[in-house]
Structure 1
Amino acid sequence: MIRIILSGGGTGGSVSPLLAIAQEIKRTRPETDFLFIGTRKGNPEKTMIKSFPYIKYQSIFSGKLRRYFSLRNFTDLFLILKGFFQSFFIILKFKPQAVLSAGAFVSVPLAWAAWILNVPVFIHQQDVRPGLANKLMAKISRKITVSFKKSLESFALNKTILTGNPVSPKILTGDKEKAIKRFNLKSNLPCLLIMGGGTGALEINQAIEEIIPDLVKFCQVVHLTGLRKGIGKFIHSHYHQIEFLPQEGLADIYAVADLVVSRAGLGALTELSVLKKPAIIIPITNSHQETNAKYFAKQKAIVLLRGKKINSQELLSKIKELILDNKQRALLSLNISQLASIEASKKISKVVLENISAWA
């Protein structure tokens, strides 16, 4: 029996790759038992793992170390310490052979507890620029996998491996007809998918709210707002608002979408790459998302919109331009597909399985 702890949360970006890796490990080693350690709020990780009955969920206290002055830096230290002791006893009880994280603050106390108990820690660096959580776990990690060649220079070369970013096999099984039936879509009208990541994007939602009456004149819209981030009650047969979709439902919507508007979390960018979807990307300013988006834009794989405040009219103009220009969408589709990493899950799973140790 192989036992592996997965850990992430707070955003969907730190959860999606872990689920993709878990599916691949389960495929090759079906006897594997998984435990997912997430945040106490469980948003969105608890919702995301519901469709994986072989993954159990447990929460711990966690905090965030901010790179600026905040009184919460002091109070969060106590939460992190509490999370460390919780992790210590969880590991003693579950007896895992590995702990795997894709970068999240909830994983930091768990990783250090695992290291003290001599359990191998593995981290995956999704974004081009390493986050603080992965930096805090890097020194105690057995192996580090990265999505981009550029990220190799951020970690010790003797234990860092270029793999690409994992994507769930469920995303590849989308059924266009299911989406058309579910949302009563018209097959002869272009479909626009708008999403803001696992927790939604309030700024994108607000910008879309301003231009919905214009959007529905030339396309039909499926809008994933994020949990409890719905917008006004605009009713039109071409506009469909939903808070959250599991991977199977999202796969169906991807299959029918002609264009996608999204943030620049690498989980979303990876899915768009694998599925060859033309996209308008709006990164969160002053974050790792900007670095991701710049990289993709440099490859001419996306249309990038930047700025502290989203210009709704500029967004409307870009959407209309791309929806009406099949050749431009086809070129974006070709370019973004060149950045896909289909084998990433297999590569990371192999790294983990080859380096795990037995717990007596």
Structure 2
Amino acid sequence: MKIILTGGGTIGSVSPLIAIKQELEKQKIQADYLWVGTETGIEKNIIDKQNIPYKAIKSAKLRRYFSGWNFLVPFQFLVGWFQSLKIIIKFKPDIILSAGSFVCVPVVLAGWLLKKKTVIHQQDFKVGLANRIMAPFSSKVTATFEKSVKDFSSTKTQLTGNPVRQEIFSGSKEKAMQLFNLQPDLPTLLIMGGSLGATKLNKLIFEAVPELVNICQIIHITGKGQEIEWVDKEKFGEKANRYHSIGYLYKDLVHAYAAADLTVCRAGMSTLTELTALRKAMLLVPIPDNQQEENARFFDSKNAVILMDQKTITADQMVTILVGLLSNPNSLQRLQHNLGSVMLEGANEKYVEFITSLIKKKK
């Protein structure tokens, strides 16, 4: 069996596909893999560590606002499409799997032209532009939420839930204590702005840190190039050592998860899936005017998260909310409990069963 996995630009479109590869290996299903991703995305280092051969293609992202870069999109797409044709013809995959992102579009369309079986996965609550473009050309669509089945053709859409990487369950609180120099008697606040960081969220946290370190210790994953050095020992003494800023985490993120009593994060579905699987209490600050807002609203409707609007929240408001949560274990436990009713479980097994049966079917 030969499988092309395609996704990139951010970790969000990468994690579910890695989870699928892991599940196939767990079930001892033999396959040769090839990853098709972006030329400059963050995903290549991750894929290399998974021992998956990697091919980069030109990726075109259509901006939904006026930008001179949009004039280049047709040309970039054509280059990526021809590159995809060449890759598919040479590799001869039995199936092409995508979890969304613009780099997947030329790959899926090339697969359609070459009559290859293709499956796109709809992670988010709201359908993104890339999946809207790809859906008519895909063989099947898998979906995280039941709502998404209605967003696509019912004859080609299967509800599976969102696959989750198995290593997230291997995190160690003790290991986190060593890695981040944490204190065992303090609650731990984990802050993540996504794989590419979040400047606005980082600024809010930076303003809130002097108050937050009075009651907790902080692991702040800022995004590459956005590391914040916050040290003012003259004013805050030993409490300055309660703030730990890291630009980027992937392998050791599982240990940060294990240590976290509360997480402040965006609302990308891969992150939400992993934290939900671990039953980690969350305060969400989704990217405004983005499909993340729909993800966050759905979780909020289940009383499973605390939702804040980036456009209106202040550092003082964030401090008040976080202090209230960290000081009230019952509130955290209630959020953790409610996460149990948000997402479909057994997604890895359901997805693998679906694609293996699809591969066996005649074209």
Residue 350 of structure 1 deviates from its aligned partner by 1.4
Contact kept, 8 Å, 1:167 with 1:342, in 2: the verdict is no
> Is the aligned partner of 1:246 residue 2:266?
no
> Is the aligned partner of 1:146 residue 2:143?
yes
> Is the aligned partner of 1:63 residue 2:67?
no
> Is the aligned partner of 1:274 residue 2:271?
no
> Is the aligned partner of 1:13 residue 2:16?
no
Q: 1:96 aligns with which of 93, 96, 103?
A: 93
Give the letter aligned to residue 184 of structure 2: S
Q: d(CA) in 2 for partners of 1:339 and 1:50?
A: 33
Q: 2:191 aligns with which of 190, 194, 200?
A: 194
Q: d(CA) in 2 for partners of 1:24 and 1:349?
A: 7
TM-score (ref. length: structure 1) = 0.95
* Secondary structure at 1:139 match in 2: helix
Residue 338 of structure 1 deviates from its aligned partner by 2.1
Q: d(CA) in 2 for partners of 1:144 and 1:217?
A: 48
Residue 354 of structure 1 deviates from its aligned partner by 1.3
Residue 310 of structure 1 deviates from its aligned partner by 4.1
Q: d(CA) in 2 for partners of 1:13 and 1:182?
A: 24
Residue 66 of structure 1 deviates from its aligned partner by 3.0
Q: d(CA) in 1 for partners of 2:64 and 2:230?
A: 39
Kindly report structure 1 stretches of 4+ aligned residues shifted beyond 6 Å: none
Q: Which residue of 1 aligns with 2:201?
A: 204
Contact kept, 8 Å, 2:123 with 2:143, in 1: the verdict is yes
Q: 1:227 aligns with which of 217, 224, 228?
A: 224
Q: Which residue of 2 aligns with 1:303?
A: 306
1:46-57 alignment runs, 5 A limit = 46-53=44-51, 55-57=52-54
Q: d(CA) in 2 for partners of 1:309 and 1:128?
A: 23
1:273-323 CA distances to partner (integer Å, 9 max, x unpaired)?
111111100011111011010000010000000142541111111111100
Q: Which residue of 1 aligns with 2:39?
A: 40
Moved more, 154-163 or 21-30: 21-30
Q: d(CA) in 2 for partners of 1:20 and 1:342?
A: 14
Residue 116 of structure 1 deviates from its aligned partner by 0.9
Contact kept, 8 Å, 1:63 with 1:80, in 2: the verdict is yes
Q: d(CA) in 1 for partners of 2:107 and 2:179?
A: 41
C-alpha spacing 1:263/1:10, structure 2 compared with 1 (3 Å): same
Aligned length: 355
Contact kept, 8 Å, 1:204 with 1:310, in 2: the verdict is no
Contact kept, 8 Å, 1:119 with 1:357, in 2: the verdict is no
Q: Which residue of 2 aligns with 1:262?
A: 265
Contact kept, 8 Å, 1:8 with 1:104, in 2: the verdict is yes
> Is the aligned partner of 1:337 residue 2:340?
yes
Q: d(CA) in 2 for partners of 1:7 and 1:29?
A: 22
Q: d(CA) in 2 for partners of 1:299 and 1:50?
A: 38
Q: Which residue of 2 aligns with 1:125?
A: 122
Give the letter aligned to residue 10 of structure 1: G
Residue 68 of structure 1 deviates from its aligned partner by 3.5
Q: Which residue of 2 aligns with 1:23?
A: 22
Give the letter aligned to residue 290 of structure 1: E
Moved more, 60-69 or 12-21: 60-69
Q: d(CA) in 2 for partners of 1:273 and 1:204?
A: 21
Q: Which residue of 2 aligns with 1:326?
A: 329
1:187-216 CA distances to partner (integer Å, 9 max, x unpaired)?
110000000112121111111111112111
Moved more, 128-137 or 230-239: 230-239
Residue 18 of structure 1 deviates from its aligned partner by 1.0
Identity of aligned residues (%): 44
| C-alpha RMSD over aligned residues | 1.6
Contact kept, 8 Å, 1:272 with 1:336, in 2: the verdict is no
Residue 47 of structure 1 deviates from its aligned partner by 2.9
Contact kept, 8 Å, 1:203 with 1:310, in 2: the verdict is no
1:62-84 CA distances to partner (integer Å, 9 max, x unpaired)?
11123333332221110110000
* Secondary structure at 1:217 match in 2: coil
